[in-house]
Amino acid sequence: MTGSNNNIYMPFKAVIEEAIDMGCNVKFFKVIPIPPHPPLSKGGRGGFIDYIPGQFFMVSQWGAGEAPISVTSTRGLQRHIEFAIKKVGAVTTVLHKLKKSDTIWLRGPYGNGFNADAAKKRDVVFIAGGIGIVPLRSLINFIQMHKKQYGKIFLLYGAKNPSEILFKEDLKAWNKKGIEITLTVDVKDESWKGNTGVVTGHLDRVKTDFKNACSYICGPDIMIEKTMKELTSRGMPDRQIITTLEARMKCGIGKCGQCYHGIEYICTNGPVYTYEEIKKRRVYGP
Amino acid sequence: MEKVPTICPYCGCGCGLYLHVDKGIICGVSPSRNHPVSKGSLCVKGWNCYEFIQHPDRLTKPLIRINSKEHTTSKKNPPLPPFSKGGRGGINSSLVTHNSSLFREASWDEALSYIAKKLTKIKNTSGPDSIGVLSSAKCTNEENYLMMKFARAVLGTNNIDHCARLCHSSTLGGLASTFGSGAMTNSISEIADARVIFVIGSNTTEQHPMIGMHMLDAVNRGAILMVADPRRNMIAELAHIHLKHKSGTDVALLNSIMNVIINEGLVDIAFIKRRTENFDEFEKVISKYSPDIGEAITGVSADDIRKVARMYAAETRSMLFFSMGITQHITGVDNVRACANLAMLTAHVGHAMTGLNPLRGQNNVQGSCDMGAIPEVYSGYQNVKDASARKKFEAAWGVSLPKKSGLTLIEMLNASRRNKLKAMYIMGENPVISDPDVKHTIEALKKLNFLIVQDIFMTETAKFAHVVLPAASFAEKEGTFTNTERRVQKIRKAIEPAGKAMPDWQIICELSKKMGYNMDYKAPYEVMEEIALLTPSYRGILHHRLDDGYGLQWPCTDVNHPGTQFLHRKKFARGLGSFIPVHYLPPDEQPDEKYPFILTTGRSYFQYHTGTMTRRTTTLEREQPECTVEINAEDAEQFGIKNRAKIKVSTRRGSIEAVADVTDKIIPGTIFIPFHFHEASANVLTNPALDPYAKIPEYKVCAAKVERIHEERPYIK
Amino acid sequence: MKKDLILNKNYLSYWLRQLRKEMQLIGPMRGFKGDFVFKSIGQIHEISLDCPASAPLPKEFVFPHVEEMFEKVFSEQEIKDLQNNDKRIIFGIRPCDMSAINLIDRFYSSKFESSYDLAHPNRKSEDSYYMARRRNTVFISIGCNNPDPTCFCNSVGTGPFLESGFDVQLTDLGDRYFVQTGSKAGKTITNSYRYLFEEAQRQDYDDQYEIMLSALTKFEKRINLEETRQKILAGKVRDSFWEWVSTRCFECGGCVYECPVCTCFNIVERTETDKSPRPPLRAMAFTKGGQGGIKGKRIRIWDTCFFKGFTRMAGGNIPAEKKVMRTKRWWFHKLLYYPEQFKRFGCVGCGRCTITCPGRIDIATISQKIKVEIK
């Protein structure tokens, strides 16, 4: 193990505490990290890794490879690191086969994470599309924990169909704690009595002063783009529209170049950006 | 770190490159700056050609099928699942699973003795012609020569063929009767100085990228580039004129071009009089193909036909290139003859910077044809029916040789289905993926009493083998490759063979010793000496001459001969060039109501052939991980197919599922599928109809239908 | 007063031989028929001191084609770090390559820039594999008395001779080398053999200056990348121009592979089987979750932004789907983003892309085209 402490590519082990199939190709993992010595952060006590909402880990299984996965847990609320992983590629397919007490390997946390300060003393509007709820869950819980510092909290969450709505337990709990939740689906079935259509169509339900509110968006590219435009047209300043982007990443630490986009390495400068930054970034094209 | 100069193992360009070797591990590639073909460049496959060499999938020991009846031992010790007790040591370690058939590892001695015993038995009971041999365009000249010698001298049959049957047999056939030699007439280095470049049926920039580079250089210097292809691929985008003719209408297109040339008086009459024959009869046929008729058949406007004809005929330095788009038709030979007629008509042959240039697809497909790995000829295209040639070989080899020409590749498989062929010895080929109509191929292979496959990986074909022999890759042996411009170049050994693998030439020698024929060569250069002795066009090509240069271009008739830059100088190889009139014949299968599309198949840029090498290369496999079907946007809309949707393509022979690539790069009514993918093998669909002369199957045209599958797009690796 | 040295050419091989006793010696050697290659030196007298200025790329010794990162035996808990700590001395690299290596040093050792990492300043951010090789490598560079026709390092300030940023720089003064040391490592390898060197005299400085002046007159190319950059920034270079450039791109990756500055890589896993039992007949044994394997290796391999798969995400979304986007991306990275990040162009004017690009759309040619055609 020569120089392992200095090797930024060296993953550490984590044991799966819980693995729950959430349906629609998403699996929920609760993992206990066994970080190397000394622990990555000074603040972290043994067995804890310090991270903030919106960050991601490079999760790997030997033989399959690494994939960037956002955390969905919140430090201080959940004891363990939680991931909700959708089966989309080779690595995630292998990860889906894992069960309780299996070992996975982590590197991280990486990325800038959400800037929760931007929303301080403001109303907060969370807008999630599909799997985009995963990183937002971490932030929603974080803001909920410190809710005295924030205004009203709204959540607009759109899914493809009712069965693809994730974290139903959390939604109930948030509702009880006073978060105003609007759910919508693209395709409804018999059981569904709620809203249909895209999330942007339901922004009217968010009763807030958009000029002073702060919004966090996560979802598919098209949905993000549409929502950002819609929010701007309602008067929300660009720097209060915050989103998280997706890119192919291999290192997570700004070296491999795969996520390079404009002038930024999404893995280190991002993945969280304000609309203002995104606009600036695109001056030169891709 | 050592850097070993060698030749790229992919296409027929024959680019020079260095393999980087560090402590016995191949760790990179760099191009050769001064090589006449690559000139410091490489294509993406060349840059990544090092990765498969030491892939963990490499075959490292001979394998013998367990459930073959001869192996009674397997009955005593029934095979155990390989993972049961740790997988190492004991009986388990020698068991190998392959889709329910079981192989066990064997020593070379055992495997070769077994093969020798079986082949001898079959030869004695069913006759030598019940054995078929497939040589390989990926192997060296020396190995092909030995394989040819093995088939003819040891087995006593002319049943030897290789994949040139499937790519350029029509070129050999077509040019033999018109020019007298079936090779590229001119050289790659001449391309940059050409004034007009006419490319028909070749995706040059993707399939022969370094030749494409020379063409682009020519364009930079002001040359006119004309491309005839139903697909708008990269070279077509760079072209000044792009003729999008319908697949399978090449004869009509070329005939009407020639019609314009004759009618407008652009013919080189002196050349025709002095150097060719049979013009009058030819002219009669051509007169029937006016540009308007051409337009009606091909879909190319008569004006464009006239333009191309004038441009091509007006310049002296016009080069004509063709490839699979011409040859892989039931009219393949006719297509080639039409090309030859065009070149002769305007005197575009026999001097520098012109010529008729078939681009060969494999690194050594030219060489394996030269070496006589085809049923009708010995090395150097000396016909087996020619008594004097046969006598020469009989004297040198010390055996009597069969007089009758042998079976071609497809005929061998057909013979096997009819129980006429009992055994096959396949070296470095993967007919299950590469031959048309996979179902029939598999059926034929299953019917064989005995199948030997010699390869570097466990191919789809090897699955059906009774014995699998591990061969050495291009980086693990010495030898020569002949590229498309007839340049014989040396490859050099960089590392030791994987495991117990042996170079193919050594395997053949050892096997023939076991069969009682003493093939004794110290090294490939000794084989080359024998080739030079028996082959006039290779007489001056010896290893020591290749060591300090970029190879020699045959014909090279003595040890001081510098090689030949272009063919047919002063006179054609056959004497007078012969005009052979050809008529347009529609493809074997035409689209109809049930199967409304023309399906054409080919290669993609990132994958190569049956993918045994490229699909084991990280970068290449990442770029093209799945089979995609190119379909025109109009057609796609009509059938409700979205880009990247999963679709089903069916023909009368079968169907495959693949991903739609909706594009405007292909003409409406035609779809294109690359054939590299075993999970979606395009050759499940293709039509095994053969050209009557060359026996080349019609890969380029068959009728197909397309259906949308209501399923989510599959994920990509 | 400067403390530059003079090395009699007769002493060079003795010096190198002594150095080789301590570390691997790599230098330009004759390859096949007029080619030159950088490789381990067998016979010291066979080093090609006449190697042309646009010599083949020595980047691979610090950033190899394929670098093995970790090895893990599946049945064990430990991960083996495969970091390469061989000591190397690379002789005969050119000032442009040396500048490129300095630029890569800055990139690979650069700190994270995210707000999270700013709050955690102790987080490591050096690329361990590159820096391990880099720290164990000493470069002896040779200034270019005779630039090649493809060279334009003078236009980007990376040659033909360097002022700083080298370990040891030699200038060929005919019968002797003018030796400058620019780093601790450089000083070590000269000081240990100080008896071979003499102190440079006035005449030597004059000769060196004369050589430099004459080298500058030999450049055939005058490439003004700043002008190109300004034109791109001003939006004068339209998409139709890039469209044209991209139609000529063969997607071979050669420009990136041959570029001394490019550093992008891909990380893949390879599963090694015990040879028997063999994995099932699948095309890829690399990334199939390691079934049937006994150990896995995580490796990194050169990658190219000209490939579609370079940006393709799991699920198949490709941000840079069109070839023109990928072409622009490379150009903009080199000409716009490098200057923003490092105040240097991502091009050192070595001219290798001019040699290797089959579509003839290398930096020099296109810059020239922009200069001439776009006003």
In a domain, A229, yes or no: yes
Task: Say what percent of chain B tops pLDDT 90.
Answer: 79
Which residue range is the domain that position C17 belongs to?
5-59+84-217
Rg, chain A, Cα only: 19
**How many structural domains comprise chain B?**
5
Judged by CB atoms closer than 8 Å, whether chains meet at B716 and A89 is answered as yes
Distance CA B315, CA B318 (A): 6
Domain boundary at B487, B520, B536, which? B536
| CATH number for B390 | 3.40.50.740
User: Residue B97 corresponds to which tokens in the numbers above?
Assistant: 């699973």
Q: Using the predicted structure, report yes or no on whether residue C180 has a pLDDT greater than 50.
A: yes
Q: Are residues C108 and C132 both part of a single domain?
A: yes
Q: Are residues C154 and C241 both part of a single domain?
A: no
Cβ-defined contacts of B607-611 (< 8 Å, 24+):
B607/B674, B607/B676, B607/B677, B608/B10, B608/B11, B608/B45, B608/B676, B609/B362, B609/B430, B609/B434, B609/B676, B610/B430, B610/B433, B610/B434, B610/B459, B610/B460, B610/B675, B610/B676, B610/B678, B611/B433, B611/B676, B611/B677, B611/B678, B611/C283
Mean pLDDT of all residues in B169-183: 91
Q: Using the predicted structure, report yes or no on whether residue B473 has a pLDDT greater than 50.
A: yes
In a domain, B559, yes or no: no
The one-letter code for the residue type at B134 is L
**How many structural domains comprise chain C?**
2
Q: Are residues B660 and B692 both part of a single domain?
A: yes
In a domain, A4, yes or no: no
Q: Using the predicted structure, report yes or no on whether residue C360 has a pLDDT greater than 60.
A: yes
pLDDT at A48: 63
Q: How many angstroms separate the CA of residue C356 from the nearest CA in chain A?
A: 22
By the CB < 8 Å criterion, does C44 face chain B?
Answer: no
C133: phi then psi, degrees, rounded to nearest 5: -65, -40
Q: How many CB atoms lie within 10 A of CB C129?
A: 25
pLDDT at C322: 85
Q: How many angstroms separate the CA of residue B391 from the nearest CA in chain C?
A: 41
Q: How many angstroms separate the CA of residue A46 from the nearest CA in chain C?
A: 17
pLDDT at C361: 93
What 3 state SS string does B231-293 have? Answer: ECCHHHHHCCEEECCCCCCHHHHHHHHHHHHHHCCCCCHHHHHHHEECHHHHHHHHCCCCHHH
Any residues with CB less than 8 A from the CB of B700 and at least 6 apart, and which? Answer: B201, B247, B248, B324, B325, B328, B329, B600, B601, B602
Q: Given pLDDT bands bounded at 50, 70 and 90, which one contains residue A206?
A: confident
Distance CA B132, CA B298 (A): 40
Domain boundary at A78, A110, A142, which? A110
User: Residue B267 corresponds to which tokens in the numbers above?
Assistant: 């013919």
- Rounded to the nearest 10 degrees, the angle between the axes of helix C323-332 and helix C239-247 is 110
Please tell me whether the peptide bond between B56 and the residue prior to it is cis, using omega within 30 degrees of 0: no
Q: Using the predicted structure, report yes or no on whether residue A283 has a pLDDT greater than 70.
A: no
Rg, chain C, Cα only: 23
The pLDDT tens digits of the residues spanning C302-353 come to 999 899 888 887 777 777 788 888 898 899 889 988 888 888 999 999 999 9
In a domain, C277, yes or no: no
The pLDDT tens digits of the residues spanning A219-235 come to 888 888 888 888 888 88
- Interface confidence (ipTM) of the complex: 0.91
| CATH number for B254 | 3.40.228.10
Q: Given pLDDT bands bounded at 50, 70 and 90, which one contains residue C2?
A: low
By the CB < 8 Å criterion, does B88 face chain C?
Answer: yes
Task: Say what percent of chain B tops pLDDT 70.
Answer: 94
A264: phi then psi, degrees, rounded to nearest 5: -110, 145
In a domain, A166, yes or no: yes
Any residues with CB less than 8 A from the CB of B256 and at least 6 apart, and which? Answer: B289, B290, B291, B293, B294, B295, B298, B302, B305
pLDDT at B386: 93
In a domain, B482, yes or no: yes
pLDDT at C312: 83
Q: Are residues C140 and C240 both part of a single domain?
A: no
Q: Using the predicted structure, report yes or no on whether residue A108 has a pLDDT greater than 60.
A: yes
SS3 call for A133? helix
Residue from the list C80, C114, C293 with its beta carbon closest to the beta carbon of A269: C114
**DSSP 8-state assignment for residue C285:** S
* B-chain residue closest to C281, CA distance: B98
Mean pLDDT of all residues in A87-98: 85
Q: Are residues B154 and B140 both part of a single domain?
A: yes
Q: Are residues C184 and C231 both part of a single domain?
A: no
In a domain, C94, yes or no: yes
Residue of B28, B620, B31 whose CA lies nearest to C353: B31
By the CB < 8 Å criterion, does C248 face chain B?
Answer: yes
Contacting residues of C for B664, CB less than 8 Å apart: none
Which residues, in sequence order, are bridge partners of residue B704?
B597
Distance CA A156, CA A123 (A): 14
Q: Given pLDDT bands bounded at 50, 70 and 90, which one contains residue B341?
A: very high
Distance CA B320, CA B227 (A): 10
The gap from C-alpha B220 to its chain's centroid, in whole angstroms, comes to 30
The pLDDT tens digits of the residues spanning C219-259 come to 998 899 999 999 998 888 998 999 999 999 999 999 999 99
Q: Are residues A105 and A219 both part of a single domain?
A: no
The pLDDT tens digits of the residues spanning B624-671 come to 888 999 999 999 999 888 888 889 999 999 999 999 999 999 999 999
Cα B600 to Cα B301, B577, B608, B708, distances in angstroms: 22, 32, 17, 19
| CATH number for A131 | 3.40.50.80
Q: How many angstroms separate the CA of residue A254 from the nearest CA in chain C?
A: 7
Residue from the list C34, C292, C315 with its beta carbon closest to the beta carbon of B34: C34
Which residues, in sequence order, are bridge partners of residue A212?
none
What DSSP string runs through B370-425?
A: HTT-BTTEEGGGEETT-HHHHHHHHHHHTS----S----HHHHHHHHHTT---EEE
* A-chain residue closest to C129, CA distance: A7
Q: Given pLDDT bands bounded at 50, 70 and 90, which one contains residue B540?
A: very high
Per the CB < 8 A criterion, the answer to whether A160 and A130 are in contact is yes
In a domain, A263, yes or no: no
Distance CA B122, CA B155 (A): 10
Q: Are residues C190 and C333 both part of a single domain?
A: no
Q: Are residues A46 and A124 both part of a single domain?
A: no
In a domain, C139, yes or no: yes
Q: Are residues C115 and C204 both part of a single domain?
A: yes
Could you give the residue ranges of the DSSP H alpha helices within B30-102? Answer: 44-47, 73-76
Please tell me whether the peptide bond between C160 and the residue prior to it is cis, using omega within 30 degrees of 0: yes
In a domain, A7, yes or no: no
- Mean pLDDT, chain B, whole residue set: 89
**DSSP 8-state assignment for residue C312:** P
Which residue range is the domain that position B37 belongs to?
2-47
The residue whose two tokens read 């040890």 is B559
The pLDDT tens digits of the residues spanning B85-94 come to 333 322 333 3
In a domain, C204, yes or no: yes
Judged by CB atoms closer than 8 Å, whether chains meet at B98 and C281 is answered as yes
User: Residue B457 corresponds to which tokens in the numbers above?
Assistant: 């990986």
By the CB < 8 Å criterion, does B83 face chain C?
Answer: yes
Q: Given pLDDT bands bounded at 50, 70 and 90, which one contains residue B76?
A: very low
Distance CA C213, CA B592 (A): 75
Judged by CB atoms closer than 8 Å, whether chains meet at B715 and C316 is answered as yes
In a domain, A278, yes or no: no
In a domain, A74, yes or no: yes
Q: Using the predicted structure, report yes or no on whether residue B71 has a pLDDT greater than 50.
A: no
Per the CB < 8 A criterion, the answer to whether B650 and B550 are in contact is no
Which residues, in sequence order, are bridge partners of residue C265?
C302
> Which residues, numbered 38 to 57 in chain B, qualify as contacts with chain C under a Cβ-Cβ cut-off of 8 Å?
39-44, 46-47, 50-51, 55-57
In a domain, C315, yes or no: no
The pLDDT tens digits of the residues spanning C58-117 come to 898 999 998 888 888 877 778 888 888 889 999 999 999 999 999 999 988 876 666 676
Which residue range is the domain that position A179 belongs to?
116-244
In a domain, A274, yes or no: no
Q: Are residues A88 and A126 both part of a single domain?
A: no
Q: Given pLDDT bands bounded at 50, 70 and 90, which one contains residue C33?
A: confident
In chain B, the largest separation of any two C-alpha atoms, in whole Å, equals 82
SS3 call for C9? helix
Q: Using the predicted structure, report yes or no on whether residue C283 has a pLDDT greater than 50.
A: no
Q: How many angstroms separate the CA of residue B300 from the nearest CA in chain C?
A: 24
pLDDT at C205: 93
By the CB < 8 Å criterion, does C285 face chain B?
Answer: yes
Tally DSSP H helices, then E strands, for chain B. 26, 31
By the CB < 8 Å criterion, does C33 face chain B?
Answer: yes
Mean pLDDT of all residues in C193-199: 92
- DSSP run (H or E) holding B646: strand B646-651
Per the CB < 8 A criterion, the answer to whether A51 and A1 are in contact is no
Q: Using the predicted structure, report yes or no on whether residue C122 has a pLDDT greater than 80.
A: no
The one-letter code for the residue type at B57 is D
Interface-testing mutation among A69, A107, A255, A264, with chain C (most C C-beta atoms within 10 A): A255
pLDDT at B54: 87
Q: Are residues A125 and A222 both part of a single domain?
A: yes
Q: Are residues B421 and B510 both part of a single domain?
A: yes
Mean pLDDT of all residues in B346-365: 92
The pLDDT tens digits of the residues spanning B118-141 come to 999 999 999 999 999 999 999 999
Mean pLDDT of all residues in B438-450: 92
Distance CA B657, CA C139 (A): 55
Q: Which of A29-43, B658-672, C43-57 has the highest mean pLDDT?
A: B658-672
Q: Using the predicted structure, report yes or no on whether residue A33 has a pLDDT greater than 70.
A: yes
What is the pairing mode between strands B160-161 and B196-200?
A: unpaired
What DSSP string runs through A34-84?
A: EPPSSPSSSSPPTT-----TT-EEEEEETTTEEEEEE--S-BTTBSSEEEE
**How many structural domains comprise chain A?**
2
Distance CA B428, CA B9 (A): 13
Mean pLDDT of all residues in C114-138: 81
Q: Are residues A143 and A88 both part of a single domain?
A: no
pLDDT at C294: 73
| CATH number for B22 | 2.20.25.90
pLDDT at C113: 64
